[in-house]
Amino acid sequence: MNRAHKSAATFVLSLLAGLALVFALWADAGLGNPAGRAQVKPNIVFVLTDDQMPGTENRMPALQNNLVRGGVKFSNTVSTYPLCCPGRAVIQRGQYPHNTKIYGNSEPQGGWEKFQRLRLHQNTVATWLDGAGYQTGLFGKYMNNYRDRLIPPGWDRWYAWNGVDQGWTSVNDQGNVKNLDRQQADVLVADKATAFLKSRLDGAAPVFAFVNFGAMHEPYPSSDIDADKFKGLNVPRTPAFNEDDVSDKNPSIRNLNRLSRGEISDLDSQYRQSLRSLQRVDRFIGNASDILRRHGEMDDTYFVFYTDNGAHFGQHRLTHGKLQPYEEDINFPLILRGPGIRSNVVEPGLVGNHDIAPTIADMANAQAPAFVDGRSVMPLATGAATAWPRTAVLSIREPDLNPPPQWGVLRMQNQKYIRFQNGAREYYDLATDPHEVDSDPGAVSAETRDHWERRIDEIRACSGQECQAAENAPTFPPPAAP
């Protein structure tokens, strides 16, 4: 090859290399594709409600239209501790409550004071995403009894309720503490989170908005525009509602009288009020979705929807509350929507609220610490998982100074074994008895029950990666060697 040819070849190779570099830079900037940001980290909007009864999500039209029909609804999502602050600690850290040590809403069992004293606030999903380059913002309820000017690490925008217990009588707005009207607390959460999205979406960094509402926690504040909604609607009259025969239940249920007409009327009224309170949450989901679409970001945004714990309204002769081992309290569906996630799918794979933090880290391509007990559910959400090895999730209530008794639930795919501290045991085949009307521990062998007892203890003692092995163990004991 002569010098001219060599020079021409060198020029062509240099030009191709330069073009490759330009295209690579465009791709990194999200400029080399029609979606604009498809090659950069997605936005994440996490909407969390409070004490929401399973099934009430179906009364939220914006949630259904924007998230459920465009995403995955996990029908077997286990709350590892059905109480506000323990649940929120699990969600922030991705750990079982026996590892966070948060067992209550206030000292000495839990609350913000204990969460801070144990330094748990210094390493959460917020710090992981902040370290991964996200613009982070928290709005609304944080931890129960958070009363502090301290803004925990990892949060760029801070608008957190700052009063006793639920916190919605005061707010810490970026370090400035001021009084809050409880009736308007959720409205302001929606307003502040909406403003955050509007102001930050055009920035170079992706957005993580953690939006925490008080609905559907009593006393159910709602807006005047919702006053006429749900008239005549009552608590669903499932076989569990004001259950006829509770002789197969533990003593704390067995000793309950059937609900009176007055109690049922009150429950129906509370149920309607609670649904009205959720409409504020639903409007935020609709407005946030519209904002993302106007900015061309909806297809590059993950939505996560969940509650801190479920709640019961009259099931098994109980009035209204939580902290029971039954499905109304521990099985509220996790809903995910976003890039690569299947559309309009109900996924029965067994997941837990300790999976939320590692799932969000996976969405953000951030590293979850080794202390995390849960696992990302993105393989299930996207359909990439050909098998899901988890066979059980543990839900507990302990320690607690007040009745009813402490308990541990081994929640399996279609079965449920409950161990009460007072010695009672309950077993339900959820495939044939989804409302948990007929407890029959004798339906399984003593060997199987012993195996389940050991599994409760093993998961109760696990930490980090050990938890996956404990959760993946066989549901039934292996056959005896010949």
User: Residues with Cβ < 8 Å from 343, sequence gap 6 or more?
Assistant: 69, 70, 71
User: What's residue 285's pLDDT?
Assistant: 98
Distance CA 366, CA 125 (A): 9
User: Residues with Cβ < 8 Å from 327, sequence gap 6 or more?
Assistant: 54, 310, 430, 434, 435, 436
The helix/strand/coil state of 206 is coil
Q: Do 316 and 246 touch, CB atoms closer than 8 A?
A: yes
User: What's residue 481's pLDDT?
Assistant: 63
User: What's residue 331's pLDDT?
Assistant: 98
Considering the segment(s) 43-389 as one domain, its CATH architecture is 3-Layer(aba) Sandwich (3.40)
Closest C-alpha to 335, from 149, 57, 125: 57
The helix/strand/coil state of 372 is coil
Closest C-alpha to 126, from 142, 112, 110: 142
Q: Do 356 and 79 touch, CB atoms closer than 8 A?
A: no
Which residues in the chain come in under a pLDDT of 50? 1-39
pLDDT in tens, 120-172: 999 999 999 999 999 999 999 999 999 999 999 999 999 999 998 888 999 99
Task: Find the Cα–Cα–Cα–Cα dihedral 422, 428, 433, 436, rounded to 10°.
Answer: 20
Buried b (16+ CB within 10 A) or exposed e, 218-248: bebbbbeebeeebeeebbeebebbbbeebeb
User: What's residue 400's pLDDT?
Assistant: 75
CA angle 57, 137, 183 (to 5 degrees): 55
Place of tokens 């707005």: 173
Closest C-alpha to 101, from 124, 93, 452, 367: 93
User: What's residue 403's pLDDT?
Assistant: 73
Q: Can you read off the two tokens belonging to residue 163?
A: 């009063």
Distance CA 452, CA 418 (A): 9
Kindly report the number of other CB atoms within 10 A of residue 400's CB atom: 16
Distance CA 37, CA 42 (A): 8
User: What's residue 40's pLDDT?
Assistant: 78
Q: Can you read off the two tokens belonging to residue 192?
A: 């502040």
Closest C-alpha to 142, from 129, 133, 151, 134: 151
Distance CA 357, CA 125 (A): 6
**Model confidence, pTM:** 0.91
User: What's residue 32's pLDDT?
Assistant: 33
Tell me the domain boundaries of the chain.
43-389
Q: Do 323 and 341 touch, CB atoms closer than 8 A?
A: no
User: What's residue 429's pLDDT?
Assistant: 98
**String of DSSP letters for 380-431:** HHHT--S-----EEEEEE-S-SSSS--EEEEEESSEEEEEETTS-EEEEETT
Give CA 306 to chain center in angstroms.
4
pLDDT in tens, 453-464: 999 999 999 999
